[in-house]
Structure 1
Amino acid sequence: MVLRRHGDVLQIIANGTFLMDTSDGRSERLLVRAALDELRRGPHRAAPRLLIGGLGVGFSLAQAADEPEWGGVTVVEREEAVIAWHRDDGPLSPLTTAAQRDPRTHIEHADLAEYLRRGDGLFDALCLDVDNGPEWTVTEDNGSLYSPAGLAACRDRLAPGGVLAVWSAQSSPTFQEALRNAGFHRVRADEIPAVRGVPDVVHFATKPA
């Protein structure tokens, strides 16, 4: 896991693969905003709880902290180096200092798949941003997150009517079918225009109420 500076932009490189940078956080922010919008379509929830899989450069966390409706925001990050880059005067700390000071925020150093299997409480929304998508994982073991067992764990950690949102570099009809097979409904993929190249995608799925 490497943090590389390219001009004014900081880039996270994982196993030699570009993962994300600080140039444009629209899709990461939209991931969180859209998950909240999906929740609002259902019955009112007082202080919904959000689980974010992957801290990255911090755009998703910053967006969540900017929204007062969230009652709690937990971020699960496997890489200790990534957390350190956000701590104190780390190179990424300017992006998340305010969010980390928010009493609703908790950053958990853990493997997301293991954290989900622990079953420590339910969340109203789960936003995954740990790979370039279900078919383009950073490490081979991340593939378990998108397997039937991994999707079942995601479903089980959501409260009834809860929303799963998964960031991806491309749409995946196969993944959408896997979400339906895992018991989710209202499955769809929304495109997010990118500054360059093809649009990013966020896959959405809802746990039945």
Structure 2
Amino acid sequence: MLPWTVLDTADLPDGSGTLRLKQRGGEFSIMLGSNELMNSRLSGSEEALARLTCARLGQRPRPALLIGGLGMGFTLRAALAALPGEATVEVAELIPAVAAWARGPMAPVFSGCLDDPRVRLRLGDVGAVIAAGTARYDGILLDVDNGPEGLTVAANDRLYGPAGLGAARTALRPGGVLAVWSSGPDRGFTRRLRDAGFAAEETTVRARSGGRGARHVIWLATR
């Protein structure tokens, strides 16, 4: 078996840890300590995040989506495949190195999706982008961490608390969808979504395409 090679590292903005980009043959992995945050072979649940959201939105004219977290581009590519040509997709990525990896060593994984004319990549905090918008988005897709508890960046917790959920609801158009990815269930988060005025449901999806791999969770919360 080929050994892993560390290609690059990036400190988290709050100084709480360091991301490592690793490669083994054609496989890529992004690690935080001993936790694997992303792997280029495990795209199923991130793709489902986009597919389920776009299906819930239906045939809206000029749909506008905000994706929190660039990752390895799985959610972005799936959204672009499901959206019409007049759609717009903003992607907010907090860590500049992740965006650099997308155009550098991981360019084959991204397959040019960042060059799609519908896409705008914004370097910065997705929470600030959400707070600046009123009825701006049809869908807000959050995959900025391992779930609502903010494993990677502690400040992500504020996205999932009452104030953050209220800001997301304000930023959505009527009938818009807030979709949140998580590595596991969180009953308290379902309750928080409903308390914030969303019609929320929790669905389980597989990490790998084709219904295989670990079970992950996606919340679909409709304004």
Q: TM-score, normalization: structure 2?
A: 0.84
- Is 1:91 the counterpart of 2:109 in the alignment? no
Aligned to 1:165: 179
- Is 1:52 the counterpart of 2:70 in the alignment? no
Task: Assess if the C-alpha contact under 8 Å between 2:180 and 2:218 holds in 1.
Answer: yes
Aligned to 2:10: none
Counterpart Cα distance in 2 of 1:115 and 1:193: 29
Counterpart Cα distance in 1 of 2:131 and 2:96: 20
Counterpart Cα distance in 1 of 2:207 and 2:43: 10
Q: Structure 1 residues 100, 120: CA separation in 2 closer, same or farther (over 3 Å shift)?
A: farther
Q: TM-score, normalization: structure 1?
A: 0.89
Q: Structure 1 residues 62, 75: CA separation in 2 closer, same or farther (over 3 Å shift)?
A: same
For structure 2, the residue ranges without an aligned partner over 5 or more in a row are 1-18
Aligned to 2:11: none
Q: How does 1:23-38 map to 2 (within 5 A)?
A: 23-38=41-56
The answer to which of 92-101 and 161-170 deviates more is 92-101
- Is 1:101 the counterpart of 2:90 in the alignment? no
Counterpart Cα distance in 1 of 2:57 and 2:169: 15
For structure 1, the residue ranges without an aligned partner over 5 or more in a row are none
Q: Structure 1 residues 16, 181: CA separation in 2 closer, same or farther (over 3 Å shift)?
A: same
Task: Assess if the C-alpha contact under 8 Å between 1:62 and 1:95 holds in 2.
Answer: no
Aligned to 1:19: 37
Aligned to 2:5: none
**Any idea what the Cα deviations from partners look like across 1:81-132, whole Å, max 9, x if unmatched?**
0000112xx1111222431221110100011112212227611011110111
Task: Assess if the C-alpha contact under 8 Å between 1:61 and 1:96 holds in 2.
Answer: no
**% of aligned pairs identical?**
39
Report which of the two has the higher share of strand. 2
Q: How does 1:1-209 map to 2 (within 5 A)?
A: 1-14=19-32, 17-40=35-58, 44-69=59-84, 71-87=87-103, 90-119=104-133, 122-135=136-149, 137-185=151-199, 187-195=200-208, 198-207=214-223
Size of the alignment, in residue pairs? 201
TM-superposed CA distance for 1:159, in Å, is 0.6
TM-superposed CA distance for 1:48, in Å, is 0.7
Counterpart Cα distance in 1 of 2:71 and 2:91: 10
Indicate the RMSD between aligned Cα atoms, in angstroms.
Answer: 1.8
Counterpart Cα distance in 2 of 1:194 and 1:83: 23
